[in-house]
Amino acid sequence: MKITVGNEQSAEVIVHLCRESDGDPVPGVKLRPHARKRGAVTWLYSRDQQPHDLIIGLGPDEGISAERIREAAGNAVRAISKEGFKTVAVRLDRLAERFSAFSAPAGQAGGSAELNSAETGSANGTEGSIPAVSTSAAWSMTVEDLVAAWAEGWRLGSYTFDLYKSNKSSRSVEHLHLILPAGACTAQDLEPALKQASIRAEGTMLARDLCNEPPNVLHPESLVERVMEHFAELPVGVRIYRDEELERLQMNGLLTVGLGSRYKPALIELSYATDPQLPLIALVGKGITFDMGGMNIKSGRDLSDARFDMGGACAVLGAMDMISRSGIQANVTALIATADNMPDARAFVPSTVITYPNGITVQVGNTDAEGRLVLADALLHADRLGAREIVDIATLTGNVGQALGLKMAGAWGDRPFIETLAAIGEKNGDRIWPMPLIDEYEEQLHSDYADMNNISHSPYGGAIVAALFLRRFVDKASRWVHIDMANTVQVASANGYYTAGATGYGARLLADFVASRVEAARQPKA
């Protein structure tokens, strides 16, 4: 797709962004109030070969943010692609002017300038293109921010996973023109913003692609192959632990959970260390490529969604893609614990006892609580590598969705880190909410014949108890956060820049967190 910026441009469709307080954007047409509501999509079709107008509602004036812009872009591209239009112009100028969302740099913007979206996806990103997060007001945007948000939302909203469909959609926009205020920015000024948007969208779509794949295609062994192939041309070291190496390192959680599958489990280790002097950050992801529940087998009319149990691993892989393509200076290791949880004659059964290398023994009360068993191995390995800042992310409990609904994940652990992550999520759309670690709940993990059980004895507070279980495998000297994203890994229908299926949640959250920690590490000590 070709992207151009500049002044007015002829196109088949003109997109107008409209807040609730805005006047009617198209002369002679009075909009009804619902057309200005957040997420509203209204077509005004023209005659005589004139451009059609598409009104995208932004909702109330307060709270307008980059996330609203991304949502609007996703809604717009989906509506336009459905109609089959190929050329689009977007009126970003009015919005930028009304909110003073830009400060014009020296020099004047010329006419239309062309930017090729294929080039913005290059691995040679600019240093620092994943920005540190500011906790300032939501609408403190430059025109570069506005363009980046629109381009990111547009790319993510146009995402489709139709790899296995006979009739693939060919209705994609060929030319996107962004109308900006006169003198706001030159095309050259906007190249980093568009490159940043492309890097972020590509990383998120990588996470979506992997998570959407069916289990006959993507399983622990093929995931290893995909990862090795994908990162071969990026500045990322890849090491795979399998078979005898897992046994040597006593990764008994992975070995036990993987017993029932014909595909062997593995621990995938990715390293990106452009500055080894920085503190090592570990990103840990749960990669259960299909979760049938083991011998505590799941039941239901359609269990296809069990493929989304690798959402945490996909988030980590998407983040590593963004980090390595951005060129930021960082010292980060990703650890993916991958296995299938299947019932089989060889599969582990309830009452199995697993012994971990830190001496903790775990009674398996329920084989469907397998995620924490494999994450324990990865958390211990993060400590073995010397990481003192650790974030794990996993589709761990359905309980977190009962607490928080489907719009934000829960986070437990180091409070300052959680506050940083929450600020990041409010800005980039991967929202989280701080959750408590209640020490008294540890008694719910009591086992009569092991150090602890892998499942709570109570039906209440399951997400908290799961976080307490993981905490036992983190060194007390480490700063650690656990993110339970079971409720945010997928959506049932298209909305904003999400399409039905995997969301790619967490990829941008983790990438921005790493960037924020790098910036914090470089700040002079008080």
Check residue 100 and give its pLDDT: 54
- Model pLDDT for residues 459-518, shown as the tens digit of each residue: 999 999 999 999 999 999 999 999 999 999 999 999 999 999 999 999 999 999 999 998
**Fold matches, 2-204 and 213-522:** no
Token code pair at residue 70: 């991304």
| 27 vs 57: which has the higher pLDDT | 57
Token code pair at residue 278: 């920085």
pLDDT surpassing 90 at residue 6: no
Would you give the DSSP letter of residue 108? -
CATH 3.40.220.10 fits 2-204, yes or no: yes
* Phi/psi-derived region of residue 191, left when phi > 0, alpha when psi is between -120 and 50, beta in every other case: alpha
- Rounded to 5°, the CA angle 507-69-317 comes to 10
Dihedral sign computed on CA atoms, order 354, 357, 361, 365:
negative
pLDDT band at 121 (very low <50, low <70, confident <90, very high): very low
| 189 vs 239: which has the higher pLDDT | 239
Name residues whose C-beta falls within 8 Å of residue 231's C-beta, 6 or more positions apart in sequence: 238, 270, 320, 321, 324
- Model pLDDT for residues 365-386, shown as the tens digit of each residue: 999 999 999 999 999 999 999 9
* Phi/psi-derived region of residue 506, left when phi > 0, alpha when psi is between -120 and 50, beta in every other case: left
- Model pLDDT for residues 269-285, shown as the tens digit of each residue: 999 999 999 999 999 99
Look up the CATH number of domain 213-522.
3.40.630.10
Tell me the C-alpha to C-alpha distance, in Å, between residue 444 and each of 362, 399, 462: 13, 15, 9
pLDDT band at 526 (very low <50, low <70, confident <90, very high): low
- Model pLDDT for residues 312-351, shown as the tens digit of each residue: 999 999 999 999 999 999 999 999 999 999 999 999 999 9
- Bridge partners (DSSP) of residue 290 are 340
pLDDT band at 422 (very low <50, low <70, confident <90, very high): very high
Name residues whose C-beta falls within 8 Å of residue 355's C-beta, 6 or more positions apart in sequence: 250, 252, 361, 362
75: nearest Cα among 17, 140, 136: 17
- Do the Cβ atoms of 410 and 422 come closer than 8 Å? no
Check residue 132 and give its pLDDT: 40
- Do the Cβ atoms of 515 and 131 come closer than 8 Å? yes
Beta strands of 276-358 (E only): which ranges?
Answer: 281-291, 331-341, 353-355
| pTM exceeds cut of 0.85 | yes
Report the pLDDT averaged over residues 359-370: 96
Would you give the DSSP letter of residue 279? P
Q: Using DSSP, state whether 268 is helix, strand or coil.
A: strand
- Do the Cβ atoms of 130 and 515 come closer than 8 Å? yes
Burial of 73 (0-12, 13-18, 19+ CB in 10 A): buried
Q: Distance (Å, rounded) from C-alpha 307 to C-alpha 288?
A: 8
User: Alpha helix (H) ranges present in 232-357?
Assistant: 243-248, 252-257, 311-326
Q: Distance (Å, rounded) from C-alpha 386 to C-alpha 278?
A: 12
pLDDT surpassing 70 at residue 128: no
Per-chain mean pLDDT for the chain: 89
Report the pLDDT averaged over residues 184-199: 88
> What percent of the chain stands above pLDDT 70?
91
- Bridge partners (DSSP) of residue 483 are 393, 411
Spans of all domains in the chain: 2-204, 213-522
| 2 vs 343: which has the higher pLDDT | 343
Report the pLDDT averaged over residues 414-435: 96
244-255 exposure pattern, b = at least 16 Cβ within 10 A, e = fewer = eebeebebbbbb
479: nearest Cα among 417, 393, 522: 417
Tell me the C-alpha to C-alpha distance, in Å, between residue 504 and each of 46, 133, 330: 37, 20, 22
- Which residues are designated catalytic? 298, 372
CA 423 to chain centre: 15
